[in-house]
Structure formats: C-alpha cells, structure tokens
Amino acid sequence: MESIKFQFQNFLVKRSFIELKDGKPDKGFNISINPSGEIVSNKSIFRLKLEIKVFDNNEIIKAELTALANFVFNKDIKESDLDSYFYVNAPAIVFPYIRAYLSTLTNLSGIQPINLPTLNLTNLKDHLKKNTREVADE
C-alpha cells in the first residue's frame, strides 16, 4: 500500500471578530482572503494561515477570522507536486471549516448566518506561494 503523500492534520481558529452596526445590512457580501504559509522541512510540516474578512456592501456586518491549519507531507514528494499540495489543495481543504465556523458563529450571535459560497481558491496560489517561507522548528 502506498503511503499518504499529503495529509490534513488539524485546524484552529486563532482569532475571530464580528462587528454589527445599526442599520440594514446589504444582502451581498465581499470576501477578502490573505493566505500565508510556513514549510518546516525537517519535520515535513506545512502550516497554512488564512486571514479572512467578510463584510456587506454597507459595512453593517463585518467579520474577521484568522485560521491556522497544519499538514504533514511525505519527504519523497517531488517539488512540483508539493507546489500543488501546498498552494492549491491546502486552502481548498481548510475553507469548508472556515465556512462552517463563520456560519455557526454568526448564527449563535443572533443574526442571520453568513453562509459563504463554495469558492474556487486556485487564484490564491501565487499570493500564497509568495507569502510562504521555510522555517526551522525548535
């Protein structure tokens, strides 16, 4: 049996924030995603950080969260495959957790839940790659 090449390990919401102002929120939401990452080569770990901002056009509702996710990878993976795993697959794996968290958090806050759409995150690839660095772990 072939060993797993890239595996989701865990997910943590490090920070979350909701602000409600007086007024009627607009039905549409704007979404901003700022990705960054760390590669811990000596431990075969990829750490993904996604900073998400969601706000309606009138900025009556504003939500922000910072999510961290850890992935482990096989050291024998070709570098070209790692690029795909790190920069395309990792955000796509984590985003459903963020969607569920934001929906639950807003629903429990007594407001209409914010239900983010399913998004194609491949456009984050270049930005994430540029914001990823190799680090040494203690």
Q: What is the pLDDT of residues 48-66, one digit of tens each?
A: 999 999 998 888 899 999 9
Question: Does residue 88 form part of some domain?
Answer: yes
Please give the model's pTM, rounded to 2 decimal places. 0.89
Residue 1 falls inside a structural domain: no
Do β-strands 29-40 and 132-134 pair in parallel, antiparallel, or remain unpaired? parallel
Residue range 95-112, pLDDT digits in tens: 999 999 999 998 888 888
Residue 50 lies in a domain: yes
- Domain span at residue 75 reads 6-133
Q: What is the CATH number of the domain that holds 81?
A: 3.10.420.10
For residue 125, being part of any structural domain is answered with: yes
Rounded Cα distance between 57 and 45, Å, is 38
**Mean of the per-residue pLDDT values of the chain:** 89
The rounded percent of the chain whose pLDDT value lies above 90 is 54
List phi, psi (to 5°) of 126: -65, -40
Q: How many domains does the chain contain in total?
A: 1
What DSSP letter does each residue of 12-52 carry, written as one string? Answer: EEEEEEEEE-SSPPPS-EEEEEEEEEEEEGGGTEEEEEEEE
Stretch 20-26: mean pLDDT, rounded?
82
Residue 55 included in any domain: yes
Q: Please check whether residue 138 lies inside any domain of the structure.
A: no
